[in-house]
């Protein structure tokens, strides 16, 4: 951990004893004899912030990650002291701060169990080269402790035994264990003795996490500058930790338009226009649902952002309209590098307004990307972001583009060491000028934010859709994301699965991979298996570099085409279910995907599982992740589950073999669930939904399900024009009761539900709706346990 080896005499320095203590409402300050100040802020009963300075003075308190909408407030706060410690107590936590050395220990306020304790605690090295400190924290790993999170790391779910770096990096064809890659999300959740807590190290400098790698019983994190500034988030449930972290760094500012949860097709590149049209026409011809088509860099004039190639796309407005008439949203790529070209208006304007990043001694930051030599806007300057957002006017308002794809925003620079800006580049950082060392990890985030602001403005009254490659904590507020340039291999299918789960437990749910792999070419089987996984990722897009062949659903022959079609259709059927999960995520920060450990942390079997995950609250999925498989073994978490394809009920808490030929995959539904489905549509909005299918899975006992709907786009839902149905299912031996509670002012287009009853253990002889017995002809009992009834019921009894 010693970094500045030549200056080792300035090595580890430690706080000495506390000489004074101050309390200012919820901010407690402890000062040591050698000038260190620890500031503990009680943000919530379960969220404490720890901030240290070695100079007695704190930096301006500014963070790109923390949202102003974060919840604050606590029920109880008391500070007492004994001989050895100051003791901070809230309703959830007890925090000891040692008087002799400033070390911190945290306990559960209810049962007094130790949750997390400093080993060496805070310490630092002075940085001669850059000034300031290398700030460090080390904690004692608790017995049996496991670690999860950290964004897009392409490794197994449980991070124990590994070390990681956070420095967003363009990582073409990365692989398992490549580190760092595109994102910096310095947040992890730890779990031991059935209790989970999280640590968010809000420091944008190059940072590191070590989970019992360097020393077996020690977890540590450190950064090459800035402050030791971290949030401690107590659960004890992992989902609470993730939800609280997401609350702190922000939930998506709006729901995505429903079409953005449809299937997207992309390639580097579809051009000219005739090629784009061929692709979209083929989707409609084969009746494979698709909502979005992407234009990669070749749509531009010499890769100049905000221009169109006259040769390939002579009339973009007409084309975009024709595509829209056929149900396709057009999404275009926009990179940060602005080509140096005095005849190019965006460049000229950026230069005139002094919006490009500069080196320490004054020259512009010049770097090569797709267009050749470029300058780069300083997105950490709010004025630059405002300018950038206005550049989207023509694309969005006039031409009708519906989404923007931000790429290369690490920022990536070609043919240079480190593949990015040098350290000395200057940034505004919201009026806190700094070098690239501090701004690097947020550069892409601020670009995506500026893009989002533009789309929000010019799409209005519709909702924006933006996707970014680089991200820091909090980027989930503005945009979706994908996992970058992966490879068409089976291991990458596994990596995609891990990354989507890991991003979800890092507060970032709207994520997917390049289905089939970006680099190289999958065979049909790999592509089909990857589609099966991909339809269960919140963002679902096929993308490929195209240099090894085609990667459309029909590119691998008829058998594969029909498998791919079947699964994309399933995605569209499940849209109301996914949209409901998204709404839960946007409301409460509950991740859309849950690794098994998040689903059932008390079951130690889940702590090292990688493949299986929950899609929403009710559906368990496990991809087939190798060639020539007719099924696989998988762990079924505790409880009873219905095989989605056969309705066979399995008992969880064990590993089982599950059949899954190429046209199938392991999918299970939790007993008692009610799963809403829409009819298959070629694109969102193609059909008026005139009946909502509810798949009801009988359970002996009780279970709750919900269905959220709104106008699928626009902001009326924020004013209460949504429809939330909560179903309480209660299954008895001879009876199934479903109660419905409806809230919100949105009227769904359908008038009826079609209930499909799965696993009903009795023959129906009587049905009652709201205390009135209903004749079978009125409710259309179909003999196959499906019944059609009014959507307005409050209580339904189905009796033997
Ligand atoms: C980068 C992106 C990739 C894109 C390509 C060309 O490699 O990650 O998705 O297709 O650039 O723009």
Helices within 460-557 (DSSP H only):
490-504, 524-534
Asked whether 333 lines ligand 1 (CB < 6 A), one says yes
Q: How many Å lie between the centroid of ligand 1 and the Cα of residue 491?
A: 21
Pairing status of strand 338-339 against strand 114-126: unpaired
CA 33, CA 483: separation in Å to the nearest integer? 47
Q: Both ends of the chain: CA-CA distance in Å?
A: 69
Peptide bond into 20 cis (omega under 30): no
Helix (H, G, I), strand (E, B) or coil at 626: coil
Asked whether 569 lines ligand 1 (CB < 6 A), one says no
Whether the CB-CB separation of 60 and 441 falls below 8 Å is answered with no
**pLDDT at site 780:** 79
Q: Which atom of ligand 1 is closest in space to residue 469's alpha carbon? A: 8
**pLDDT at site 6:** 53
Q: Select from 370, 350, 376, 404 the least CA-distant residue to 302.
A: 370
Alpha-carbon distance values, 74 to 41, 44, 46, 58, 90 (Å): 11, 5, 8, 24, 7
Q: Which atom of ligand 1 is closest in space to residue 484's alpha carbon? A: 8
CA torsion through residues 564, 566, 571, 575, sign = positive
Q: How many Å lie between the centroid of ligand 1 and the Cα of residue 377?
A: 20
Residue in 174, 267, 268 to alter for ligand 1 test, most ligand atoms within 8 A of Cβ? 268
Axis crossing angle, helix 524-534 with helix 558-573, rounded to the nearest 10: 0
**pLDDT at site 531:** 99
Q: Which atom of ligand 1 is closest in space to residue 267's alpha carbon? A: 10
DSSP tally for the chain: helices H, then strands E: 12, 51
Alpha-carbon distance values, 638 to 110, 287, 697, 707, 761 (Å): 27, 39, 17, 24, 21
For residue 604, give every residue at least 6 positions away whose Cβ sits within 8 Å of its Cβ, in sequence order, or none: none
Asked whether 484 lines ligand 1 (CB < 6 A), one says yes
Q: 26-78, pLDDT tens digit by residue?
A: 999 999 999 999 999 999 999 999 999 999 999 999 999 999 999 999 999 99
A 10 A CB-CB count for 155 gives 18
List, in sequence order, every beta strand (DSSP E) within 622-700: 631-636, 640-643, 649-651, 654-659, 667-670, 674-677, 691-697
Asked whether 296 lines ligand 1 (CB < 6 A), one says yes
What DSSP character marks residue 364?
Answer: B
**pLDDT at site 426:** 98
Half-sphere exposure of residue 719: CA atoms within 13 angstroms, side-chain side: 4
Q: Sheet of 701-709: strands edge to edge?
A: 701-709, 723-731, 735-743, 795-799, 766-769, 772-773
Alpha-carbon distance values, 42 to 38, 54, 139, 202, 516 (Å): 13, 21, 20, 16, 46
Residue whose CA lies nearest to ligand 1 atom number 10:
268
Q: 602-616, pLDDT tens digit by residue?
A: 999 999 999 999 999
Q: How many Å lie between the centroid of ligand 1 and the Cα of residue 139?
A: 39
For residue 775, give every residue at least 6 positions away whose Cβ sits within 8 Å of its Cβ, in sequence order, or none: none
CA 421, CA 645: separation in Å to the nearest integer? 52
CA 235, CA 195: separation in Å to the nearest integer? 7
Q: Residues with catalytic annotation?
A: 407, 410, 485
H or E stretch covering 735: strand 735-743
Q: How many Å lie between the centroid of ligand 1 and the Cα of residue 182?
A: 12
The count of residues in the chain is 800
CA 681, CA 588: separation in Å to the nearest integer? 29
**To the nearest 10°, the Cα dihedral for 112, 114, 119, 125?**
-70
**pLDDT at site 546:** 86
Residue in 305, 333, 444, 544 to alter for ligand 1 test, most ligand atoms within 8 A of Cβ? 333
Alpha-carbon distance values, 523 to 8, 485, 489, 516, 517 (Å): 54, 18, 9, 9, 11
Q: Select from 513, 403, 510, 397 the least CA-distant residue to 451.
A: 403
Helix (H, G, I), strand (E, B) or coil at 279: helix
CA 144, CA 388: separation in Å to the nearest integer? 49
Q: How many Å lie between the centroid of ligand 1 and the Cα of residue 333?
A: 9
CA 759, CA 16: separation in Å to the nearest integer? 66
CA 130, CA 223: separation in Å to the nearest integer? 13
CA torsion through residues 295, 299, 300, 306, sign = negative
**pLDDT at site 776:** 79
Alpha-carbon distance values, 698 to 478, 578, 693, 730, 768 (Å): 39, 21, 16, 9, 17
CA 635, CA 61: separation in Å to the nearest integer? 46
State CA 348 to chain mean position distance. 36
Asked whether 407 lines ligand 1 (CB < 6 A), one says yes
**pLDDT at site 74:** 97
Q: Which atom of ligand 1 is closest in space to residue 172's alpha carbon? A: 7
Q: 369-425, pLDDT tens digit by residue?
A: 999 999 999 999 999 999 999 999 999 999 999 999 999 999 999 999 999 999 999
Asked whether 268 lines ligand 1 (CB < 6 A), one says yes
Half-sphere exposure of residue 357: CA atoms within 13 angstroms, side-chain side: 33
Helix (H, G, I), strand (E, B) or coil at 294: strand
**pLDDT at site 10:** 64
Whether the CB-CB separation of 630 and 599 falls below 8 Å is answered with no
Give exposure, 659-672, as e/b (b: 16+ Cβ within 10 Å).
ebebebbbbbbbbb
Report, as ranges of residue numbers, the positions in the chain whose pLDDT lies below 70: 1-10
Asked whether 757 lines ligand 1 (CB < 6 A), one says no
CA 266, CA 349: separation in Å to the nearest integer? 31
Peptide bond into 682 cis (omega under 30): no
Whether the CB-CB separation of 726 and 702 falls below 8 Å is answered with no
A 10 A CB-CB count for 34 gives 13
Q: Which atom of ligand 1 is closest in space to residue 266's alpha carbon? A: 10
For residue 30 the two structure tokens come to 């402890």
Residue in 270, 296, 332, 406 to alter for ligand 1 test, most ligand atoms within 8 A of Cβ? 296
Residue in 182, 298, 370, 408 to alter for ligand 1 test, most ligand atoms within 8 A of Cβ? 408
Helices within 606-653 (DSSP H only):
none
Residue whose CA lies nearest to ligand 1 atom number 5:
268
Residue in 469, 485, 512, 520 to alter for ligand 1 test, most ligand atoms within 8 A of Cβ? 485
CA 265, CA 252: separation in Å to the nearest integer? 23
Asked whether 485 lines ligand 1 (CB < 6 A), one says yes
Pairing status of strand 292-295 against strand 329-334: parallel
Q: Which atom of ligand 1 is closest in space to residue 485's alpha carbon? A: 8
Q: Which residues pair with 490 in a beta bridge?
A: none
Give exposure, 220-248, as e/b (b: 16+ Cβ within 10 Å).
bbbbbbbbbbbbbbbbbbbbbbbbbbbbb
Whether the CB-CB separation of 173 and 205 falls below 8 Å is answered with no
Q: How many Å lie between the centroid of ligand 1 and the Cα of residue 268?
A: 7
Q: Select from 322, 187, 329, 151 the least CA-distant residue to 256.
A: 329
Report phi then psi at 510, rounded to 5. -85, 75
**pLDDT at site 448:** 98
Burial-class residue 417 by CB neighbours within 10 Å (0-12, 13-18, 19+).
Answer: exposed
Q: How many Å lie between the centroid of ligand 1 and the Cα of residue 410?
A: 12
Q: How many Å lie between the centroid of ligand 1 and the Cα of residue 80?
A: 56
Q: Which atom of ligand 1 is closest in space to residue 296's alpha carbon? A: 12
């Amino acid at each position: 951990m010693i970094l500045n080896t030549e200056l080792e005499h300035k090595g580890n320095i430690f706080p000495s004893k506390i000489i004074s203590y101050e309390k200012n409402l919820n901010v407690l300050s402890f000062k040591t004899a050698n000038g260190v100040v620890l500031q503990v802020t009680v943000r919530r009963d379960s969220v404490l912030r720890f901030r240290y300075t070695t100079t007695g003075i704190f930096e301006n308190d500014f963070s790109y990650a923390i949202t102003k909408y974060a919840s604050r407030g606590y029920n109880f706060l008391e500070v007492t002291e004994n001989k050895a410690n100051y003791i901070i107590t809230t309703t959830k936590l007890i925090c000891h701060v040692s008087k002799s050395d400033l070390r911190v220990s945290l306990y559960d306020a209810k049962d007094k169990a130790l949750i997390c304790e400093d080993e060496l605690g805070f310490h630092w090295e002075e940085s001669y080269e850059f000034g300031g400190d290398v700030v460090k924290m080390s904690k004692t790993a608790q017995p049996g402790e496991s670690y999860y999170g950290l964004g897009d790391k392409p490794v197994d779910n449980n991070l124990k035994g590994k070390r990681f770096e956070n420095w967003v990096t363009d990582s073409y064809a990365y692989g398992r264990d490549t580190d760092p890659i595109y994102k910096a999300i310095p947040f992890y959740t730890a779990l031991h003795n059935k209790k989970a807590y999280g640590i968010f190290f809000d420091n944008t400098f190059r940072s590191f996490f070590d989970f019992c790698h360097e020393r077996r019983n020690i977890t540590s994190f450190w950064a090459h500058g800035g402050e030791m500034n971290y949030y401690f988030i107590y659960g004890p449930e992992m989902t609470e930790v993730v939800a609280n972290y997401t609350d702190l760094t922000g939930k998506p500012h709006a729901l995505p338009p429903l079409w953005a949860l449809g299937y997207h097709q992309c390639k580097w590149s579809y051009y000219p226009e005739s090629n784009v049209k061929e692709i979209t026409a083929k989707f409609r011809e084969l009746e494979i649902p698709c909502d979005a088509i992407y234009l990669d860099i070749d749509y531009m004039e010499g890769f100049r952002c905000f221009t169109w190639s006259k040769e390939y796309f002579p009339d973009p407005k007409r084309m975009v309209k024709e595509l829209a008439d056929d149900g396709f949203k057009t999404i275009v790529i926009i990179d940060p590098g602005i080509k140096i070209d005095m005849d190019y208006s965006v460049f000229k304007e950026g230069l005139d307004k002094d919006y490009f990043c500069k080196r320490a001694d004054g020259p512009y930051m010049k770097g090569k990307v797709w267009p050749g030599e470029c300058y780069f806007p300083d997105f950490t300057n709010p004025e630059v972001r405002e300018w950038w957002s206005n550049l989207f006017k023509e694309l969005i308002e006039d031409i009708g583009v519906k989404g923007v794809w931000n790429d290369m925003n690490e920022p990536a620079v070609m043919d240079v060491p480190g593949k990015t800006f040098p350290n000395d580049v200057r940034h505004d950082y919201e009026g806190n000028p700094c070098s690239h060392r501090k701004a690097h990890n947020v550069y892409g985030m601020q670009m995506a934010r500026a893009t989002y602001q533009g789309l929000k403005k010019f799409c209005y009254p519709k909702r924006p859709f933006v996707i970014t490659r680089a991200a820091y904590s909090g980027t989930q507020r503005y945009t979706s994301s994908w996992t970058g340039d992966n490879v068409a291999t089976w291991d990458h299918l596994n990596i995609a699965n891990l990354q989507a789960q890991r991003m979800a437990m890092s507060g970032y749910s709207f994520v997917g991979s390049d289905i089939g792999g970006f680099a190289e070419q999958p065979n049909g089987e790999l592509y089909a298996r990857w589609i099966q996984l991909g339809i269960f990722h919140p963002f679902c897009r096929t993308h490929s570099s195209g240099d090894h062949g085609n990667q459309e659903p029909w590119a691998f022959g008829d058998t594969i085409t029909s498998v791919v079609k079947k699964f994309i259709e399933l995605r569209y059927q499940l849209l109301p279910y996914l949209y409901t999960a998204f709404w839960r995520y946007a409301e409460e920060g509950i991740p859309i995907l849950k690794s098994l450990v998040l689903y059932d942390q008390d079951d130690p079997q889940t702590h090292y599982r990688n493949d299986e995950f929950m899609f929403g609250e009710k559906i368990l999925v496990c991809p087939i992740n190798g060639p020539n498989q007719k099924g696989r073994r998988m762990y079924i978490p505790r409880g009873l589950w219905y095989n989605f394809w056969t309705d066979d009920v399995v008992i969880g808490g064990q590993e089982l073999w599950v059949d899954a030929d190429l046209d199938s995959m392991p999918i299970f539904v939790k007993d008692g669930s009610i799963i809403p489905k829409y009819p298959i549509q070629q694109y969102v909005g193609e059909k008026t939904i005139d009946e909502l299918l509810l798949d009801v899975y009988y359970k002996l006992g009780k279970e709750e399900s919900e269905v959220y709907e709104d106008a699928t786009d626009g902001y009326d839902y924020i004013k209460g024009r949504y429809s939330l149905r909560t179903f309480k299912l209660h299954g008895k031996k001879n009876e199934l009761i479903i109660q419905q509670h409806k809230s919100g002012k949105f009227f769904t287009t359908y008038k009826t539900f079609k209930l499909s009853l799965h696993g009903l253990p009795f023959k129906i002889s009587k049905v009652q709706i709201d205390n009135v017995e209903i004749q079978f002809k009125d409710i259309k009992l179909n003999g196959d346990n499906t019944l059609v009834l009014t959507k307005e019921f409050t209580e339904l009894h189905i009796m033997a």
